[in-house]
């Protein structure tokens, strides 16, 4: 850490002023004459002075670092989310420290401990279920935190995200309105994600609309989706539509269909969830639900900074998400 950088006393010496004055101009600069301000800024530039962050953090008791713990970064929804957080925080002079929990509560707790011990001022968590120890630790130290990718107006903790159950219902209704009565739902591991669980719950609540509504759990990857859909195709499951709770799984479904010689949407329909970048490019273009990953990152980031600067309480926030109709769902007549 700037072992060789100039310190505030160097600047003070250089300008013949006191460290207090230097500090004042470096921050906001209240109560400093225009002339000294210039002189100080000039000296700072000449000495290439950068305030020592540790010293500043020690004094002010804030590090301007916010921590995000996410289950994985390899899913592009999370990548976009992180990119948005980084950008939003950066614009406001905050930094992002990242930890990856691999969807494991113990790892998440360990990560939080490390990040707290690193000086994070606030936390951004994924999903709604976390170990009590984690929440306790944050509460005891009064570190603000938000849950993301979920929206739950009843939660005691602020949640910023979307209504997973509601969106799943809409997706299911969409298929129903297109005449589908035999639908397979393909989703990632339930234990790893309360959001997946919420989507399944939402979908299941509408099972009365269908002749069959089956649920299949598979690893959350293209390979997982392909294997799962390939299996049901081979079994002759007879589903007219596959609703995948991630575009990644949907892409796997596409390849499974290609392997099985089934055409989309003529032979089977496929619907996704996420609206990843390539969803409009696949052949046929994928009907999916547009999740505001980037907007969600911006929203939490902005709220967290606001909270840190003004002590405004974090508030739950519902982000808009909607079905994007493209060409992968057939209308059965």
Partner DNA sequence: TGTTCAAATGTAACCGGTTACACAGCGCAC
Partner DNA sequence: GTGCGCTGTGTAACCGGTTACATTTGAACA
Residues lying near DNA in the complex (CB under 7 A): 5-9, 16-21, 23-24, 26-27, 31-33, 35-36, 49, 51-52, 55-56, 58-61
Which of 213, 264 has the CB closer to a second copy?
264
User: Distance from CA of residue 54 to its chain's centroid?
Assistant: 29
Which of 49, 78 has the CB closer to DNA?
49
Please name the residues in contact with 75: beta carbons below 8 A apart, sequence gap of 6 or more.
Answer: 220, 246, 248
Query: Given the rule CB under 8 A, which of 28-36, 50-58, 192-200, 314-322 is the region that contacts a second copy?
Result: 50-58
Which region, left, alpha or beta, applies to residue 149 given φ > 0 means left and ψ of -120 to 50 means alpha? left
Does 50 help bind a second copy (rule: CB under 8 A)?
yes
Does 117 help bind a second copy (rule: CB under 8 A)?
yes
Which of 74, 309 has the CB closer to a second copy?
74
- Alpha-carbon gap, residue 244 to 250, rounded angstroms: 5
Q: Which residues pair with 192 in a beta bridge?
A: none
Query: Given the rule CB under 8 A, which of 77-85, 166-174, 204-212, 296-304 is the region that contacts a second copy?
Result: 77-85
Which of 75, 180 has the CB closer to a second copy?
75
C-alpha angle with apex 322: 316 to 327, nearest 5 degrees? 160
Candidates 9, 38, 113, 322: give the one binding a second copy (CB under 8 A). Answer: 113
Q: How far is the CB of 113 from a second copy (least distance, A)?
A: 8
Please name the residues in contact with 95: beta carbons below 8 A apart, sequence gap of 6 or more.
Answer: 64, 65, 66, 89
Choose the contact partner of 35 out of a second copy, DNA, none; CB within 5 to 8 A by kind: DNA
If we measure between CA atoms, which residue out of 194, 193, 199 comes closest to residue 165?
199
E strands in the chain:
65-70, 95-100, 122-126, 145-148, 159-161, 182-187, 212-217, 241-244, 269-271, 288-290, 317-318, 322-324
- Alpha-carbon gap, residue 54 to 44, rounded angstroms: 19
Does 72 help bind a second copy (rule: CB under 8 A)?
yes
Q: How many CA atoms lie within 13 A of 98 on its CB side?
A: 14
Does 312 help bind a second copy (rule: CB under 8 A)?
no
Choose the contact partner of 313 out of a second copy, DNA, none; CB within 5 to 8 A by kind: none
Burial of residue 45 (CB within 10 Å: 0-12, 13-18, 19+) is exposed
Candidates 141, 235, 236, 266: give the one binding a second copy (CB under 8 A). Answer: 141
Binding string to a second copy for residues 257 to 296, with x set by CB under 8 A, is what? Answer: -xx-----------------xx-xxxx-------------
Query: Which residues of this chain interact with a second copy, rule CB under 8 A?
Result: 1-5, 48, 50-58, 61-65, 72-74, 76, 79-80, 82-83, 86-87, 90, 93, 95-100, 111, 113-121, 137, 140-143, 221-223, 226, 251-252, 255, 258-259, 277-278, 280-283
């Amino acid at each position: 850490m700037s072992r060789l950088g100039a310190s505030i006393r160097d600047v003070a010496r250089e300008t013949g002023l006191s460290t207090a004055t230097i500090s004042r101009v470096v921050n906001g600069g209240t109560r400093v004459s225009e002339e000294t301000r210039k002189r100080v800024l000039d000296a700072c530039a000449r000495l290439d002075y950068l305030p020592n962050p540790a010293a500043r953090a020690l004094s002010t008791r804030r590090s301007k670092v916010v921590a995000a713990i996410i289950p994985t970064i390899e899913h592009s929804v999370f990548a976009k989310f992180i990119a948005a957080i980084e950008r939003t925080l950066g614009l406001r002079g905050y930094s992002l420290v990242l930890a990856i929990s691999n969807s494991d509560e113990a790892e998440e707790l360990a990560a939080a401990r490390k990040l707290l011990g690193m000086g994070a001022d606030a936390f951004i968590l994924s999903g709604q279920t976390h170990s009590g120890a984690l929440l306790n630790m944050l509460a005891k130290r009064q570190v603000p935190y938000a849950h993301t990718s979920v929206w739950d107006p009843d939660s005691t903790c602020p949640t910023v995200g979307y209504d997973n159950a509601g969106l799943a219902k809409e997706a299911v209704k969409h298929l129903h309105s297109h005449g589908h009565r035999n639908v397979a739902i393909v989703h990632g591991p339930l234990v790893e994600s309360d959001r997946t669980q919420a989507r399944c719950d939402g979908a299941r609540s509408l099972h009365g609309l269908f002749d069959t509504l089956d649920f299949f759990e598979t690893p959350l990857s293209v390979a997982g989706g392909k294997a799962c859909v390939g299996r049901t195709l081979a079994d002759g499951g007879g589903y007219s539509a596959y609703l995948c709770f991630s575009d990644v799984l949907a892409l796997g479904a596409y390849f499974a269909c290609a392997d099985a010689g089934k055409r989309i949407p003529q032979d089977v329909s496929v619907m996704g969830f996420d609206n990843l970048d390539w969803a409009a490019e696949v052949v046929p273009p994928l009907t999916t639900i547009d999740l505001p990953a980037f907007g969600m990152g911006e929203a939490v980031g902005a709220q967290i900074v606001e909270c840190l600067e003004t002590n405004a309480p974090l508030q739950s926030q519902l982000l808009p998400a909607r079905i994007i109709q493209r060409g992968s769902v057939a209308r059965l007549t």
